[in-house]
Structure 1
Amino acid sequence: MEVKRRTARTLVKRLSSAGDAAALASAITEIRLISKLDDEIRLPLADAGAIPLLASHLVAFPPIASPSSQENASASLLNLSISAREPLMSTPGILDALAYSLRSSAPAAVAQNAAATVFSLLSVDTYRPIIGSKKALISSLISLIRAPNQAARTVKDALKALFGLALYAMNRSKMVELGAVPALFSLVLKEERSGVLEDATAVIAQVAGCYESLEAFRKVAGFRALVDLMDKATGAKGRVRENAAAALLNLAMSGGEAAVGEIREVEDAEEVVRELAEAGISARAKIKAEALLKVLGSERRCRRGEHWIGDLDSSSDSSSVPSPRLWDSSGNSSSY
């Protein structure tokens, strides 16, 4: 292990003392490569001071930082986030640097790596309120999913970061305030890639679990859209239909009779929910649909505080960061 510590110190020294852009780019490239291939050197790199140097490079301008070296710096931080989350979160300004990298005008690979890094950090429960306090970061993630012609991998990583944020209940109202609901429904209405649709509806289901979501869903005709997503006639995949049911159930739980009334007013809503309960596409879908049927058939005010979780797509390729329920006990993830 001492050899790895010496190697890490040498690399960080090169990074901090590089005299020109070419030497700096070379050091960052080497850090990206070694942090990808050797998981045991990630913590020594963090201990040697690599994180603030890499983070400062994300917000640097040419000629100091080229798009390729910024991509390598962002990938290095993503790799370090797998094994050195505490040092990463303890670095002053790291969340601001990630928020800057998430802007829709940033190079696509940089934005994608930053979103995946945020999601990696959000796998730690105690970091969710801290990250959620950064409105600029949430806004950047929302803008990223709204950006036209964005690559599917970038959108999926941004959605997974938003999903991780929404796992903490107090973050949901902030996401609603910052425009998450229209952004998510805009994505759903125009999106044809099934994996993205599954992740988008999973986030919608999470955000639906706060009282503030009721009016936001009304404004985008979200109740009608969710019923349509549940309807087998629309051709939606099983997990999309299940997530739509979870979203309506969460709206009913958080919005009470006002939300239940909105669902009832959608033409054929109960018929669609009943079909899902009987279709047998999955045990989870059946449970959610049956619970929603009971809510729709009840004149009682729904209990608040209960929440159903949507599922992110688990068919990610080998290079993407897995959804929360796919993290193994050691928190391992693919490296970049």
Structure 2
Amino acid sequence: MDNRIVIANCGAISFLVGLLYSTDTRLQANAVTALLNLSINNNKKTAIINADAIEPLIYVLQTGSPDARENSAATLFSLSVIEENKVKIGRSGAIQPLVDLLGIGTPRGRKDAATALFNLSIFNENEARIVQAGAVKYLVELMDPAAGMVDKAVAVLSNLATIPEGRVAIGQEGGIPVLVEVVELGSARVKENAAAALLQLCPSSNRFCNMVLQEGAVPPLVALSQSGTPRAREKAQVLLSYFRNQRNAGQG
């Protein structure tokens, strides 16, 4: 940690950013890895952004070796921890290559891309960009427990479900059955995020509401309403009460 501060204070950042365009793949990979390590220090995140690193990092994300692409995604994630950087990175064109990495990257590359996309999706303006870049299809695929990424995929989907185009994409890409499955089988935090996504989907569309019910969501939601985290219990109770009101209205 001490060395990171010394290296950055010696003026290394701008030289490392320049090396991201190197045609020597090993040099490029070492430069991006060094920037990733420097970015762990909060004070250096701003220095990296101020050295105009975003475009070169996107270049590595698109053209680098698998290792370099992973570390570029991880660096963008690290930089996006700072609020104003979420805006800059989202507007710079980083989202499409991050989504591409989500689809075709190594397991670690996919995790780094998903984590970066989660951070970026916290800023409203980026949500539509992430949906338009085709992320929902990959996120639904990554909800397969075998991928080892259910928690990250559900966290991003839960943010994307807050906008109309996100909800439409989740419905179209087969996201509803897997969200219901996660409410039943996921970890406490994952169940909470899945319930949050369903709570966005059901009131927005009768068709989605019926799909959720047909997938057998009520028993796992009842269980969640009794034994989940406080936030998950609240979401499950609101959903169950919504289903009851819909049923009563239908009978009336």
- TM-score band (shorter)? 0.7 to 0.9
Specify the alignment match of 1:209 in structure 2. Answer: 162
The answer to whether structure 1 residue 89 and structure 2 residue 54 are counterparts is: no
Specify the alignment match of 2:101 in structure 1. Answer: 144
CA distance in 2, matches of 1:66, 1:193: 28
**Partners of 1:146 and 1:187 within 8 A in 2:** no
The answer to whether structure 1 residue 295 and structure 2 residue 242 are counterparts is: yes
Q: Relative to 1, partners in 2 of residues 1:106 and 1:43: Cα closer, same or farther, differing over 3 Å? A: closer
Q: What are structure 2's unaligned runs of at least 5 residues?
A: 247-252
After TM superposition, give the deviation of residue 288 of structure 1 in Å.
Answer: 2.4
User: What are the Cα deviations for residues 307-332 of structure 1, in whole angstroms up to 9, with x where unaligned?
Assistant: xxxxxxxxxxxxxxxxxxxxxxxxxx
User: What are the Cα deviations for residues 224-261 of structure 1, in whole angstroms up to 9, with x where unaligned?
Assistant: 221122124xxx33333222112212335xxx442x54
1:286 to 229, 233, 242: 233
Farther-moved stretch of structure 1 (223-232 vs 168-177): 223-232
The equivalences for 1:103-142 within 5 A come to 103=62, 106-135=64-93, 137-142=94-99
User: What are the Cα deviations for residues 162-188 of structure 1, in whole angstroms up to 9, with x where unaligned?
Assistant: 000000011101111110111111222
Specify the alignment match of 2:135 in structure 1. Answer: 180
Whose relative contact order is higher, 1 or 2, with alpha carbons under 8 Å and at least 6 apart? Answer: 1
**Partners of 1:144 and 1:155 within 8 A in 2:** yes
The answer to whether structure 1 residue 224 and structure 2 residue 183 are counterparts is: no
User: What are the Cα deviations for residues 263-289 of structure 1, in whole angstroms up to 9, with x where unaligned?
Assistant: 2333122333222212x1433322222
CA distance in 2, matches of 1:294, 1:98: 47
User: What are the Cα deviations for residues 116-156 of structure 1, in whole angstroms up to 9, with x where unaligned?
Assistant: 11111111111111111123x111111112116x13x3222
Higher Rg of the two aligned structures? 1
1:277 to 225, 237, 240: 225
The answer to whether structure 1 residue 264 and structure 2 residue 171 are counterparts is: no
CA distance in 1, matches of 2:75, 2:134: 22
* Secondary structure of the structure 2 residue equivalent to 1:249: helix
**Partners of 1:185 and 1:222 within 8 A in 2:** yes
* Secondary structure of the structure 1 residue equivalent to 2:143: helix
Q: Relative to 1, partners in 2 of residues 1:119 and 1:274: Cα closer, same or farther, differing over 3 Å? A: same
Q: Relative to 1, partners in 2 of residues 1:178 and 1:275: Cα closer, same or farther, differing over 3 Å? A: same
Q: Relative to 1, partners in 2 of residues 1:66 and 1:179: Cα closer, same or farther, differing over 3 Å? A: closer
**Partners of 1:245 and 1:289 within 8 A in 2:** yes
**Partners of 2:61 and 2:68 within 8 A in 1:** yes
CA distance in 1, matches of 2:147, 2:136: 19
Q: CA RMSD in A?
A: 2.2
* Secondary structure of the structure 1 residue equivalent to 2:142: helix
Q: What are structure 1's unaligned runs of at least 5 residues?
A: 1-35, 300-336
**Partners of 1:223 and 1:263 within 8 A in 2:** no
Higher helix share: 2
Specify the alignment match of 2:36 in structure 1. Answer: 78
TM, length-normalised to structure 2: 0.86
Specify the alignment match of 2:3 in structure 1. Answer: 38
Specify the alignment match of 2:120 in structure 1. Answer: 165
**Partners of 1:71 and 1:110 within 8 A in 2:** yes
